[in-house]
Amino acid sequence: MITPTCRERLTAADFDFIIRTLAGSGQRRSASLAELLTDSDTRDSILDSEPLFQAVLEAGANLQISPQCYFYVLLRHVLKEHQLASRETADYLASLLEKFSRTERMSAPSGAGEGPQQYVSDMLLALQKAASTQSFLLRAHIGNYTLFITGVFHERVECRSRRGGPDVEFFEHVGATNYSIAAEHSMAREHSLAPIFRELGERFHDIRLALNDTAERHMHLDEPSPLILP
C-alpha cells in the first residue's frame, strides 16, 4: 500500500543538497537551516522554495538526491501551478511515482488472482470475489495504476486507443470511481488516506493533467517495459 512518506524519508544527501542550495557559503546560516529542516512545518516551507525547485531542474545528471525528494519537489511545484495545494496529496503522488517508476512494483496486490494482475479488466474482475481488505487494496491499486499510465504515459494510452484499446477517458472514469470508493473504506481512515483518495477521485482529471505537465516538462523516465494495458 502506498502512503505519503516522501517528506519523512529525506536522506542525508537530500539534506546536504538542500542546505548547499539555500544556504550558500554561510556556515552559520547552514547550521541554522539544518536545524530548521528537523521541524516538519519549516521543512515543508523549505521544500516549497522556488530556488530549490530550480536547482533540482538545473542539476541534470549531476543531481545526487533520493527519488522521493526529487519527485516531491517537482510535483509539489507543478501541482501548485495547477491549483492543487495539498501537501499530503503531493506527497502521495510522489510516493506513487517513486514506486511505479520501477516496473516490478506495478503489479496488483497479491491474492488478486493467479499471478500479477496488470490488466485493469482483470483487476475489476478480481474485485467481484475479493474480501473487504483485498477489495480496498485493489481499488487503491486500480486508482494508482490508471493515474500513473494516463499521467506519465498519456501519449502511449492515446496511441493504443486509436488501435481499439480503452481511451484516457475510460481510465479516468475507472480510476476516479475506485479512488472514491476506497476513500470510504475503514482502512483509508485508519491510514489517514481518506482525504487524499477523496481528492484523487474528485479531481482525477485535473491531477492527471498536472502529471502530464510534469512528465512533459520536467521528468525523464524511461518507459517501463513491459507496461501492459488492457
User: pLDDT by residue (tens digit) across 165-213?
Assistant: 889 999 999 999 999 999 999 999 999 999 999 999 999 999 999 999 9
Within this chain, do residues 18 and 114 fall inside the same structural domain, yes or no?
no
Within this chain, do residues 132 and 41 fall inside the same structural domain, yes or no?
no
Residue 29: strand, helix, or coil: helix
Within this chain, do residues 150 and 118 fall inside the same structural domain, yes or no?
yes
Q: Which residues contact 82 (CB under 8 A, 6 or more apart)?
A: 206, 207, 209, 210, 213
* The predicted structure's pLDDT at residue 205: 97
Taking only the tens place, the pLDDT of each residue in 41-91 is 889 999 999 999 999 999 877 788 999 999 999 999 999 999 998 999 999
Could you tell me if residue 105 is inside a domain? no
- Alpha-carbon distance 211 to 230, whole Å? 21
How many domains is the chain built from? 2
Within this chain, do residues 224 and 116 fall inside the same structural domain, yes or no?
yes
Within this chain, do residues 59 and 123 fall inside the same structural domain, yes or no?
no
Domain holding 166, by residue range, is: 110-230
Contact 76, 56 (CB under 8 A): no
Could you tell me if residue 127 is inside a domain? yes
